[in-house]
Amino acid sequence: MINEMPRSTRSLLATLLTAAAPVFAYLALLPVVELGSEQPTVHLIAVGGTAALASFVAVLLTLAALRRNDLRGGLVGAAFTAMAGLLTIHALATPGFLLDEYGRNATIGLAGVSAVPAAAALLALAVAVPASVEHARRLIVGIEAAVLIVLIAFGMGGLLHPQLIPLVPLSVEPWMYLVLIPTTAVYSLVAVRAYRTSRLTRRRADGWLAIGVCWLGLSLVLYLLSSTWSLGFWWAHMMEGLGVAVVTFCVAIDLARQRPSQAIGRDLRGEELVGSEEELLGGYVRALTSSLRDLDPSTGAHSRRVAAMSVRVGEQLGLASDSVRRLAIAGLVHDIGKLQLPWEILNKPGRLTDEEFALIRRHPALGAALLEHLGGFAEEVPIVACHHERWDGGGYPAGVAGEAIPLEARVLSVCDVYDALTSDRPYRAAWDHERALALLRDERGAAFDPRCVDAAIAVLEHQAAPKVDVVRTTLVPRAATENV
């Protein structure tokens, strides 16, 4: 039954079950395991280790953010700095190490319960700030300095003068819900964004990052609902440690790549997949697009523009990350069948003969067959095969119509025609933006899916008219929709 589910559903189910596995294990152990004795040494080592890992990821993220002049990344780094600092104070305040037992030690409780929410506040700010900010490096340094000053002040006060720290009843209703609800909401948002990025990149580390963030959020829930030294207390610390360890590992792997996806700090856009080619889509895609550019540079540039526009239209339609990824790949390789056509026909300056046009009409089927032969493109083959089909059934190669055409192919068809019309070709001059839009509107419901046309127009109206790529100067009239 599971094998019959769509790939995206299986992936989501696996991620949710993995994220929830520690909670299920805790519930299974709760009736049979009783803990209550104090273990301060274990607590010091466990929390100290988690703090060290959080410090490591904070340094990695902050340095990467400074290098990229990225305020969002800097705020995520500051979030882990805050978590690391509070966990360090929490560890040092372990009863019997520097301070007395729990009854007269408010520092340990406040530091422990604040670590995850403090990081959540900075993560929420990272989500809210603009993608591009002037003087971001200066702001990053200032934010890190402010966080460190607050941590030092709290640490010195809490560890040297613990009587100054009030006993805050954060584990008592309803106060704990004022912490739990917004904190859980922030970690859920970050986890969803990381998971969505993982579906675009198909990188396992991005998927595990989403799971690690879930464990961090769940650790606070369990911590606040459990009594000190109980199974829930230790399980919360374990989930917190696991969460930080997984995030540290995933961030380290990501930043070591030539093209980091930065899943924890931002929402990856589908258009970035097109720009990255090999780094985020795989070496086969890079090899195929390189071959296409070698054969005909204008076709290679056209494919990149079509792919970029297609993912924007897909996002405008609200398509899932898996569909957006398929659009990126299919857009880049949709004309790959032209590798098997004579260069002279592809760049013929005059009108094609019936025989030559019949050859051109074969390129969708040729491209689909090539991708199928190479393997690894099972999801993109139907899109490439159908990108010249028409909504009314008058297209080629199979003459399918309406909903029988894959939605991604319908999106690609609109973008393919628009870009072909607004680019110079050997047989005609480029159309201007408004004239091309008029054709899309005229063919709405005939050649094109009306929803896809509406989404494409919405995307195009929010960007400047595209630049025209000049291919050659010899221009001979030909029908507008031929050989696009």
Digit-coded pLDDT (tens) for 298-356 = 777 888 899 999 999 999 999 988 899 899 989 988 988 888 888 788 777 778 888 88
* pTM, to two decimals: 0.78
283 & 137 share domain: no
In a domain, 23, yes or no: no
Has residue 353 been placed in a domain?
A: yes
Per-residue pLDDT, 405: 96
Residue 355, in any domain of the structure: yes
pLDDT at 253: 86
- Whether residue 131 is found in the same domain as residue 192: yes
How many distinct structural domains can be found in the chain? 2
Domain end marker among 224, 256, 288: 256
Are 372 and 410 contained in the same domain?
yes
Residue 408: inside a domain? yes
User: Would residue 337 count as lying in a domain?
Assistant: yes
| Residues 214 and 75 grouped into a single domain | yes
Task: Give the pLDDT confidence score for residue 375 in this predicted structure.
Answer: 82
Q: Are 303 and 371 in the same domain?
A: yes
Question: Helix crossing, 71-92 with 106-128: angle to 10°?
Answer: 170
- Angle CA(309)–CA(312)–CA(316) in degrees, nearest 5? 135
Q: Which of 437, 427, 424 is nearest to 463 (CA)?
A: 437
The answer to whether residue 265 is domain-embedded is no
Q: Are residues 185 and 330 in the same domain?
A: no
Residue 475 lies in a domain: no
Q: CB within 8 A of 17, min separation 6: which ones? A: none
The parent domain of residue 334 ranges over 270-460
Do 244 and 304 belong together in one domain?
A: no
In terms of domains, do 146 and 122 share one? yes
244 shares its domain with 296? no
Residue with tokens 């390789």: 333
Residue 476 counted as domain residue = no
* Domain-ending residue, one of 221, 256, 291: 256
* pLDDT value at residue 460: 93
User: Do 388 and 287 sit in the same domain of this protein?
Assistant: yes
Is the separation of the CB atoms in 419 and 463 below 8 Å?
no
The stretches in the chain having pLDDT less than 50 are 102, 464-483
Judgement on whether residues 179 and 282 belong to the same structural domain of the protein: no
Q: Do residues 81 and 144 touch, judged by C-beta distance below 8 A?
A: yes
Query: What is the residue whose two structure tokens read 């506040």?
Result: 121
Q: Are residues 280 and 241 in the same domain?
A: no
CB atoms within 10 A of CB 103: 8
Could you tell me how many residues make up the chain? 484
Q: What is the CATH number of the domain that holds 414?
A: 1.10.3210.10
